[in-house]
């Protein structure tokens, strides 16, 4: 998920910055709150992920799942099966990178894949901030992408990525309906799906209204300002964010880009989830979860609901919580296959979450040869100061 700070990556002190750079960064004021971390901060925050993983996989899951059976299911995978699954994973990475090709004109599909893997790997390994967006912004600039194209592309990526995840339950409900499984769905799942679909249509409608009309943008801003002021007043908070100003700035900076590439980006983003759904189904089948116990439609529904629920940053870097949700919901459907389901989830998450981490750092080492892997303050400011 992308926060507002993700949309405008600020300059800040990072690994390799000099004391002079750090002192200069102090002058940026509020930007320091979203500045990219130095080596020590990155390691400390990565340690939080390790702690969450230990809690989830070392304390919580062993109380419900027999790890010996899980490892037996994973150990039963043959080399051809593993290569088959890997092909799906690599294909899903490639398709996911196509969103960058849409939102950043002129970017090749290979570089789009690299950008996606760097974004995913840095976000998973260095949590609590928009540094993955900032790093990708620097990579784009280093590839020769113009300032305006890189900045608007990153911003549009963040908006579309979130909207696309809210749209997934609509896809899931359609699949469930065609699979004659909708009537057997849990009420909570149906409610979450309907709420997500409503949010998707409302948010998309508001965004389109904002980018198409000055009057609509001003009305949305004033209305949001009133409700935010009311809520903050009830909470006893005196500060009032300028929501209307933010919306008008969004229209001014991204209006043309959303009109030109927003719909195409949204469709590509939704379509890019299909290979991941197929990969999830394949992983569960390879680990011994039969179709008569958990249907493909059930798997798609669980995938969509988990995607929506984890928009809220429950766990740093997306560690642990998706696994618990996948295993919990699928095991409710087929409780006698808990070990096989857990093995399948582990195999699937290997490609979604774990492998992008080392690949991202390897790519950074290659792409930023001769430079610190994380951008320095002077480098960020240099890229921000030139439009070419």
Calculate what percentage of the chain has a pLDDT beyond 90: 39
Half-sphere exposure for 205 (CA within 13 Å, toward CB):
6
Alpha helices per DSSP H over 179-287: 187-212, 214-234, 243-257, 263-271, 273-286
- Of the candidates 280, 296, 301, 278, the one whose C-alpha atom is nearest the C-alpha of residue 192 is 301
33: enclosing H helix or E strand = none
Question: Which of the pair, 183 or 61, is modelled with greater confidence?
Answer: 61
- How many angstroms separate the CA atoms of 174 and 183, rounded? 12
Phi, psi (rounded to 5 degrees) for 18? -85, 165
Question: Tokens standing for 251?
Answer: 């229209």
pLDDT over threshold 90, residue 233: no
Angle 9-15-21 (CA atoms, 0-180°, nearest 5)? 75
Instruction: Provide the Cα torsion 174, 176, 177, 179; round to 10°.
Output: 120
- Of the candidates 223, 232, 340, 245, the one whose C-alpha atom is nearest the C-alpha of residue 289 is 340
Angle 21-24-27 (CA atoms, 0-180°, nearest 5)? 150
The confidence band for 18, taking pLDDT boundaries of 50, 70 and 90, is: very low
Identify the pLDDT of residue 249.
75
Owner of token pair 């409503």: 198
- How many angstroms separate the CA atoms of 241 and 144, rounded? 35
| Tens of pLDDT, residues 114-137 | 999 999 998 888 765 667 888 999
Phi, psi (rounded to 5 degrees) for 33? -65, -25
Pair 330, 294: CB distance under 8 Å = yes
Pair 185, 192: CB distance under 8 Å = no
Question: Tokens standing for 356?
Answer: 């992008």
Query: Distances from the Cα of 216 to the Cαs of 144, 210, 250, 263, in angstroms?
Result: 36, 6, 13, 19
- How many angstroms separate the CA atoms of 161 and 340, rounded? 31
Please give the mean pLDDT across all residues of the chain. 81
- Of the candidates 117, 97, 149, 41, the one whose C-alpha atom is nearest the C-alpha of residue 383 is 149
Identify the pLDDT of residue 103.
95
pTM reported for the whole predicted model: 0.79
| Tens of pLDDT, residues 273-285 | 999 999 999 999 9
- How many angstroms separate the CA atoms of 101 and 155, rounded? 14
Angle 26-28-31 (CA atoms, 0-180°, nearest 5)? 105
| Tens of pLDDT, residues 92-106 | 999 999 999 999 999
Phi, psi (rounded to 5 degrees) for 83? -65, -35
- How many angstroms separate the CA atoms of 112 and 163, rounded? 20
- How many angstroms separate the CA atoms of 273 and 99, rounded? 11
**Positive or negative torsion for Cα 82, 88, 91, 92:** negative
The confidence band for 41, taking pLDDT boundaries of 50, 70 and 90, is: low
């Amino acid at each position: 998920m992308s926060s507002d700070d993700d949309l405008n990556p600020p300059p800040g002190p990072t690994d390799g910055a000099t004391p002079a750079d750090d002192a200069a960064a102090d002058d940026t004021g509020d930007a320091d709150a979203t500045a990219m971390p130095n080596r020590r901060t990155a390691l400390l925050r990565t340690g939080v992920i390790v702690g969450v993983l230990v809690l989830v996989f070392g304390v919580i899951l062993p109380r419900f799942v027999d790890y010996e059976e899980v490892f037996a299911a994973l150990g039963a995978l043959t080399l051809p099966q593993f290569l088959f699954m890997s092909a799906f994973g690599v294909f899903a990475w490639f398709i996911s990178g196509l969103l960058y090709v849409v939102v950043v004109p002129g970017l090749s599909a290979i570089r789009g894949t690299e950008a996606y893997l760097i974004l995913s790997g840095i976000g998973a390994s260095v949590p609590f901030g928009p540094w993955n967006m900032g790093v990708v912004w620097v990579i784009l600039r280093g590839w020769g992408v113009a300032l305006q194209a890189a900045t608007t592309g990153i911003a549009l990526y963040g908006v579309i990525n979130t909207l696309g995840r809210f749209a997934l339950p609509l896809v899931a409900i359609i699949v469930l309906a065609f699979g004659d499984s909708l009537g057997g769905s849990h009420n909570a799942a149906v409610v979450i799906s309907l709420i997500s679909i409503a949010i998707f249509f409302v948010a998309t409608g508001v965004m389109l209204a904002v980018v198409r009309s000055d009057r609509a943008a001003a009305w949305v801003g004033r209305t949001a300002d009133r409700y935010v002021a009311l809520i903050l007043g009830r909470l006893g908070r005196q500060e009032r964010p300028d929501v209307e100003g933010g919306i008008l700035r969004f229209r001014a900076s991204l209006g043309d880009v959303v009109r030109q590439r927003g719909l195409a980006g949204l469709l590509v983003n939704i379509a890019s989830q299909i290979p991941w759904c197929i990969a999830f189904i394949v992983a569960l089948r390879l680990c011994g979860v039969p179709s008569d116990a958990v249907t493909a439609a059930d798997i798609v529904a669980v995938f969509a609901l988990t995607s929506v629920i984890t928009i809220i940053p429950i766990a740093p870097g997306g560690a642990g919580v998706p696994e618990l949700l996948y295993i919990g919901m699928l095991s409710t459907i087929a409780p006698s296959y808990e070990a096989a389901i857990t093995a399948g989830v582990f195999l699937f998450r290997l490609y979604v979450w774990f492998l992008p981490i080392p690949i991202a750092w390897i790519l950074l080492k290659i792409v930023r040869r001769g430079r610190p892997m994380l951008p320095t303050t002077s480098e960020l400011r240099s890229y921000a100061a030139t439009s070419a």
